[in-house]
Amino acid sequence: MKAIVVTDEAAGTAGMTLVDRPAPEPAINDVVVQVHASGFVPTELTWPSTWTDRLGRDRTPSVPGHELAGVVSALGYGTTGLSVGQRVFGLTDWSRDGTLAEYVAVEARNLAPLPGDVDFTVGASLPISGLTAWQGLFEHGRLRAGQSVLVHGAAGAVGSMVTQLAHEFGAYVIGTGRAADRQRALDFGAQEFVDLENDVLEDVGGIDLVFDVIGGDIGKRSAGLIRAGGSLVSVVGPPDVRPADALTIDFVVTSDRAQLGEIVQRVRDGRLLTNIAKVADLDDAVAALNPTERATGKTIIRVRS
């Protein structure tokens, strides 16, 4: 099969190469999926799981990309709940070969049915950003209607999902980002926007929930904006500063079939807009994943037309 592989962490996305390699076999409770579309998060090349397995052993050359939409082509020993020929989408294990390939082996529990009226490229754009937003707001942040949410990077992949879900849930949403992203963040449902390049972040205060996808100095300064009893939810590692009298959580997204179903239903009925900047074919994926110009939103690789 054709696959994109990486061998050298220092090379980043520039070190990606398109190769031929054997298709994977399904393990116990796996399915093999014929990948139709794949999603990739650029920072995954800095994660240890891209380079080593769960025992810390080198697993290069590894296939990156952990979001997929496709069609089940084989079942592993004992696998239940999905069928050969079924359309699916979801999130694959960080420590196994991923989805920038024509086939991927993945535990069936990490996938959900993809409705027939949802394009594979749309399906592949949803799992990481949609599940991260859902889990950060509702499981970890315990958002309640009427609360205020400060969403960093509100025009980005995760931030745009957080903005839309929080808005739908009845929160007051303040988005942040670069000056150029103001209108996109407002279009996704933010009621206000803080331009982190020109505005003073500290002018907003008394926030119930900060959703941080940036970290660093922005993360530190955000801790002071949270009211007593509020929450700081980080997806970029443990915060350097923990707000007093507030819940502080950092987490890594996990797959969840029911939540994937909630997310895709919202896309179908128009409550959730996707955030796809570009779609490229697998043969052009290395160039597409090494962009020369800034683009906001996800780059999705169409593996099979």
Nearer to ligand NAP, 57 or 294 (CB): 294
Q: Which stretch binds ligand NAP (CB under 6 A): 19-27, 72-80, 174-182, 198-206?
A: 174-182
Nearer to ligand NAP, 36 or 66 (CB): 66
Q: Site map for ligand NAP, 235-274, x if CB under 6 A?
A: xx---------------xx---------------------
**241 and 264 in contact (C-beta within 8 Å)?**
no
Rounded Cα gap, residues 100 and 64, in angstroms: 6
Q: Work out the widest C-alpha separation in the chain, in whole angstroms.
A: 57
Instruction: Give the three-class secondary structure for 268.
Output: helix
At 96, which amino acid appears?
A: R
> For residue 108, how far is the Cα from the chain centroid?
19
At 254, which amino acid appears?
A: T
Q: Which stretch binds ligand NAP (CB under 6 A): 99-107, 140-148, 155-163, 186-194?
A: 155-163
Q: Which of 159, 230, 239, 243 binds ligand NAP (CB under 6 A)?
A: 159
Nearer to ligand NAP, 34 or 163 (CB): 163
137 binds ligand NAP (CB under 6 A): no
199-202: long-range contacts, CB 8 A cutoff, minimum separation 24: 201/176, 201/225
Q: Kindly state the smallest distance separating residue 229's Cβ from ligand NAP, in Å.
A: 24
Strand partners, 231: 209, 247
156 binds ligand NAP (CB under 6 A): yes
Rounded Cα gap, residues 102 and 94, in angstroms: 18
Q: Which of 38, 62, 296, 299 binds ligand NAP (CB under 6 A)?
A: 296
DSSP state of 271: S
186 binds ligand NAP (CB under 6 A): no
Count residues contacting ligand NAP (CB under 6 A)?
A: 23
Q: Kindly state the smallest distance separating residue 275's Cβ from ligand NAP, in Å.
A: 8
Other CB atoms within 10 Å distance of the CB of residue 228 = 9
Q: Kindly state the smallest distance separating residue 240's Cβ from ligand NAP, in Å.
A: 15
**209 and 230 in contact (C-beta within 8 Å)?**
yes
Instruction: Give the three-class secondary structure for 269.
Output: coil
Q: Site map for ligand NAP, 116-135, x if CB under 6 A?
A: ------------x---x---
**65 and 41 in contact (C-beta within 8 Å)?**
no
Q: Which of 107, 181, 208, 256 binds ligand NAP (CB under 6 A)?
A: 181
Q: Tokens 């397995």 map to which residue? A: 53
294 binds ligand NAP (CB under 6 A): yes
- CA-closest candidate to residue 33, choices 82, 81, 78, 80: 82
Residues at the site binding ligand NAP, with contacts judged by CB under 6 A: 41, 43, 128, 132, 153, 155-159, 177-178, 181, 196, 213-214, 218, 235-236, 252-253, 294, 296
